[in-house]
Every structure is written in structure tokens, then in C-alpha cells.
């Protein structure tokens, strides 16, 4: 199959599943804003993000290793899964062993057990999805994602409506949803017969850890870059600001879900096409298309951000809309740096991903420390955005020895100007002028569509 068509096919497959997940996420946000106070949601967000920090630590970064090695036809599935299972078992044992150290958490202590259960179920679910994606079980991948999202929506609804301790029961809801979706994948892909302790291979475990361990601190640093700002906000401004900021991030998260559709499909193509003679052209074409698609998605949300917030939030949360547009801009750089970071994965040079993310994390901490006390939520947004830009720049430079990406400067300048005008008009707040934004949006959509068509004409690979 032609590589562009294969990439498009993978995008459509992942889009089908993610479209449902995005809709479900939309309703989940509506539940949170109607049943959590802003402060409660801030606390809930802090617990969830702490779990997200610990997950890659106790997985030893093996999530990406499952995908990378499942795409390698030289590695047998039973050997891969058996040894990944052993590695993750070690992680679970370590988690249990150090759990007594959680006693210092005070009032947060009651979330320790359920937090460990969520980590375990996410391990189970994440490895299953990565294997499904890498091994061509696309239907299983999609159904598992939708199942998890539907279960989480249903169980969170029950938790918020019928229980007093909303945070604790919502966390148990997340655990159950991941665990059941994991069981589904386990059965459908017949993993019970593929995971065998007797296939323990120390040499292969060392190879996997050599690949995955740099990704563990990479994940931690990525968490610092994207999430540490909540802890600065909580310390300097309190849980109310954390809750407001957290709900503002949920709308850009919908963009991230959509961009992840492209990213998930791209991971597969990047590995498969890494040795192609014309990979620079192929990678550059896809990068420029990503710039256009993500810029257009961001433009659409900027234009309709107020109506969206009116639908999903209550009066207490509506103020968060003012933080969404700059967060959307940050999302563009986040998506692009993830795209470029795939080049490290394809080249099996994950140390490069680590170095660039460490740089971004250190910069993010410094900027949050300097800016949040004076500029509050805007300071956190500036710190995160600038960190993304630096990571993107260093990754573009660092991966040139593997792939040379050539940007379409004209479309970047055009989109930058268009988004800038949209933001200026939006913040002026005049309803008559805001209508102009719809016209600007249409122009951006048409211009970017023509750019994609032009790429198609210049590169026979689209059609051959």
C-alpha cells in the first residue's frame, strides 16, 4: 500500500475511535463543572496529575517500548509481552514496597490505595493499547478506548450524584474503567497464551530497558513541563486557581485528542518509513500538513470558545475562557514537538528525547517560579508555552542528523498572522467585531486546504 494512503488509513482508523472519545470527554467535563466546586476540582486535578507522574516511573518507560518492538517483525510477540510483563511486575512490587512512605501525606493519605490501583490499571490498559496499535489490532484498540471512556463517564456520573466523597469515588471509577477495558484487550488479543514467565530473557530485558529507561525521566520531565504549574498555582494562589486553570486546559485537551489521532498513526509510519531514501520529503510533507491541520483546529476553537464554555461550564467556571486561547497556542507547539520527537523513536535514539525534555522541564520550573507569583495563571501559561517552543527548536536541530524537515514558511507566517488577528478581536470583546472572526476563519481554512492540495500535486507519492 502507498505510504501516504497507509498513513491516511491509520489516521481514519484512529479518528473513528477518538471522535467518540472526544465526545465522551466533552460530557465528562460537563459533569465535573456541575458537581465539583472550583476548589474541589482543583484538588481532584492535583491527585490525578500526581498519579500521572508516578505511572511512567513504575512502568520504567516501557509503554513506548511495547509499541516500538511490536512494530519490529524480528521480535516475537510472546517474547516481547512476557518480558514486558515481568518488568511491570517489578514496578508494581516496588510501588507496594514504598507505599508506607505515603504516610506523610496527611489529609491526602486516603487517596493512596486508590491511587495505586489507578496506576496498576493504567499500566494494564496502556501496554494493551500500545501492543494493539503496533500489532495491527486496530479494532481492539478503538473498542478498548471507547469502552474505557464510556465506563468512566458512567461511573463518574454515579460517583458525583450518589456519593458524598466525590473525589475518592471518582478515582475508583477511573480504576474500574481502565481495568475492565484492559480485560477486554487481554481476552480479544489472546494475551493469556502469549505471556509466559518461562520466556524470561535477561538479554532482551536489558535491550528493552536500554530503550525505555531514558523515556522514564523523559516522561517525568514532560510532566514537570506540562503539569508542575498546577503545584505553583496551588502554592501561591490556592486550589481555586488550580481548578480554574484545570478546566481551561480541558478545551485544548480536546485539540490534543484530535492531534493525537495524527500522532498515533504517524508513529507507525515514522518507524516503517525511516529507512526510505526520500524520508526527508515524506517527513516534511506530513509535518507541514500537521501545521495546517492543528492551526485550523485551534482557529475554530478560538472563534467559538465562548459558546463552548457556555455549554460545558457553569457560571463559576465561565471565567476560565480567557485562559483558553493562549493555551490553544501552546497546544500547537506541544503537538509539533511531539511529532518531531517521533524521529528519536524511529531512530531508537531516545536519549535525544530525554535531553530536550530535561531542558524544557528545567526552563518550565524556573519560569513558573519567576512568573506565577506576579502574573498568576497567565504566568503559568507563558512558562509552559515558552518551554514547548524551546523543546521544539532543540528537537528540530537535534534530529537533523536523522531527518531534515523543511517547513513551508509561507503557510506558517499566514497562520501566525491569522491566529494573532483572531486573538486580538476576541479579547476586544465587541460582538459586532467578533463576527469578523468567522470570515477570517473561513479564509484560513480555504488557504490551508489549498496548501495541502498543492503538496499533493508536487508529490506524486500522494496518489501513486
Query: Do residues 272 and 146 share a domain?
Result: no
Is residue 433 a part of any domain in this protein?
yes
Domain extent for 182? 62-212
What pLDDT is attached to residue 279?
A: 75
Name the residue among 368, 332, 376 with its Cα closest to residue 224. Answer: 368
Query: Do residues 199 and 277 share a domain?
Result: no
Is residue 173 a part of any domain in this protein?
yes
Pick from 190, 212, 234: which residue ends a domain?
212
Query: Do residues 386 and 251 share a domain?
Result: yes
Query: Do residues 164 and 295 share a domain?
Result: no
Contact 116, 52 (CB under 8 A): no
Is residue 10 a part of any domain in this protein?
no
Higher confidence at residue 275 or residue 233? Answer: 233
- What is the percent of the chain where pLDDT is above 70? 86
CA distances from 102 to 59, 97, 108, 232, 295 (A): 19, 11, 9, 21, 43
**Interval 297-312: pLDDT, tens:** 999 999 999 999 998 8
- On the question of pLDDT at 177 being above 50, the answer is yes
CA-to-CA distance for 81 and 182, rounded, in angstroms? 14
Is residue 23 a part of any domain in this protein?
no
**Interval 97-114: pLDDT, tens:** 887 776 555 556 788 889
What is the mean predicted confidence (pLDDT) over 251-268? 73
Is residue 257 a part of any domain in this protein?
yes
Least reliable range by pLDDT among 63-72, 78-87, 202-211, 222-231: 63-72
pTM for this predicted structure:
0.82
CA-to-CA distance for 459 and 453, rounded, in angstroms? 10
Is residue 51 a part of any domain in this protein?
no
Cell numbers linked to 308: 463552548
Query: Do residues 287 and 424 share a domain?
Result: yes
Query: Do residues 412 and 271 share a domain?
Result: yes
Query: Do residues 334 and 430 share a domain?
Result: yes
DSSP 8-state symbol, 36: S
Query: Do residues 230 and 155 share a domain?
Result: no
How many CA atoms lie less than 13 Å away from 47 in the CB half-sphere? 26
Which pLDDT band holds residue 267 (cuts at 50, 70, 90)?
low
Is residue 196 a part of any domain in this protein?
yes
Query: Do residues 113 and 237 share a domain?
Result: no
Pick from 178, 212, 246: which residue ends a domain?
212
What's the domain count of the chain?
2
Name the residue among 374, 377, 122, 339 with its Cα closest to residue 249. Answer: 377
- What is the percent of the chain where pLDDT is above 90? 36
In degrees and rounded to multiples of 5, residue 194 shows phi and psi of -95, -25
**Interval 196-224: pLDDT, tens:** 888 888 888 888 888 888 778 778 888 89
Query: Do residues 111 and 160 share a domain?
Result: yes
Longest dimension (CA), the chain: 71
Name the residue among 249, 302, 300 with its Cα closest to residue 32. Answer: 249
CA-to-CA distance for 425 and 410, rounded, in angstroms? 23
Contact 209, 349 (CB under 8 A): no
Rounded to the nearest angstrom, the gap between the alpha carbon of residue 168 and the centroid of all alpha carbons in its chain is 24
Query: Do residues 312 and 279 share a domain?
Result: yes
Query: Do residues 253 and 222 share a domain?
Result: yes
| Three-class DSSP category at 3 | helix
Pick from 179, 212, 245: which residue ends a domain?
212
Contact 223, 61 (CB under 8 A): no
> How many C-beta neighbours within 10 Å does residue 50 have?
18
Is residue 36 a part of any domain in this protein?
no
Amino acid at each position: 500500500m502507498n505510504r501516504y494512503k497507509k498513513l491516511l488509513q491509520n489516521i481514519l482508523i484512529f479518528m473513528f475511535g477518538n471522535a467518540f472519545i472526544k465526545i465522551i470527554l466533552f460530557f465528562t467535563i460537563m459533569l465535573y463543572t456541575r458537581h465539583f466546586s472550583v476548589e474541589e476540582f482543583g484538588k481532584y486535578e492535583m491527585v490525578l496529575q500526581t498519579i500521572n507522574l508516578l505511572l511512567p516511573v513504575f512502568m520504567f518507560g516501557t509503554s513506548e517500548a511495547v509499541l516500538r518492538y511490536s512494530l519490529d517483525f524480528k521480535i516475537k510477540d510472546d517474547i516481547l509481552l512476557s518480558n514486558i510483563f515481568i518488568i511491570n511486575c517489578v514496578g508494581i512490587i516496588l510501588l507496594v514496597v514504598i507505599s508506607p512512605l505515603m504516610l506523610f501525606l496527611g489529609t491526602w493519605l486516603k487517596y493512596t490505595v486508590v491511587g495505586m490501583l489507578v496506576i496498576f490499571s493504567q499500566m494494564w490498559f496502556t501496554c494493551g493499547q500500545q501492543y494493539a496499535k503496533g500489532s495491527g489490532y486496530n479494532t481492539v484498540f478503538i473498542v478498548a478506548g471507547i469502552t474505557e471512556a464510556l465506563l468512566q463517564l458512567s461511573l463518574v456520573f454515579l460517583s458525583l450524584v450518589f456519593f458524598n466523597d466525590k473525589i475518592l469515588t471518582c478515582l475508583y471509577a477511573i480504576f474500574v474503567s481502565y481495568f475492565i477495558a484492559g480485560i477486554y484487550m487481554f481476552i480479544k488479543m489472546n494475551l493469556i497464551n502469549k505471556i509466559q514467565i518461562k520466556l524470561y530473557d535477561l538479554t532482551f530485558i536489558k535491550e528493552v530497558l536500554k530503550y525505555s529507561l531514558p523515556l522514564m525521566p523523559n516522561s517525568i520531565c514532560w510532566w514537570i513541563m506540562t503539569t508542575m504549574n498546577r503545584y505553583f498555582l496551588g502554592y501561591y494562589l490556592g486550589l481555586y486557581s488550580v481548578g480554574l486553570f484545570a478546566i481551561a486546559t480541558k478545551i485544548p485537551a480536546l485539540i490534543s485528542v484530535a492531534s493525537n489521532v495524527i500522532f498515533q498513526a504517524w508513529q507507525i509510519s515514522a518507524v516503517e518509513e525511516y529507512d526510505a531514501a526520500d524520508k526527508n520529503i515524506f517527513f516534511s510533507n506530513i509535518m507541514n500538513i500537521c501545521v495546517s491541520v492543528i492551526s485550523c483546529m485551534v482557529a475554530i476553537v478560538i472563534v467559538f470558545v465562548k459558546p463552548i464554555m457556555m455549554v460545558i461550564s457553569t457560571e463559576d467556571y465561565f471565567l476560565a475562557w480567557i485562559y483558553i486561547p493562549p493555551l490553544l497556542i501552546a497546544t500547537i507547539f506541544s503537538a509539533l514537538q511531539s511529532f518531531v520527537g517521533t524521529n528519536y523513536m524511529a531512530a531508537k535514539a531516545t536519549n535525544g528525547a530525554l535531553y530536550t525534555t530535561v531542558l524544557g522541564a528545567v526552563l518550565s520550573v524556573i519560569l513558573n517560579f519567576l512568573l506565577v507569583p506576579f502574573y498568576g495563571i497567565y504566568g503559568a501559561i507563558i512558562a509552559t508555552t515558552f518551554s514547548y517552543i524551546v523543546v521544539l527548536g532543540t528537537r528540530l536541530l537535534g534530529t537533523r542528523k536523522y531527518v531534515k524537515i523543511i517547513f513551508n514558511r509561507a503557510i506558517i507566517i499566514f497562520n501566525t498572522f491569522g491566529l494573532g488577528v483572531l486573538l486580538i478581536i476576541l479579547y476586544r470583546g465587541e460582538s459586532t467585531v467578533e463576527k469578523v472572526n468567522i470570515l477570517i476563519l473561513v479564509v484560513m481554512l480555504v488557504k490551508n486546504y489549498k496548501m495541502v492540495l498543492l503538496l499533493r500535486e508536487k508529490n506524486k507519492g500522494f496518489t501513486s
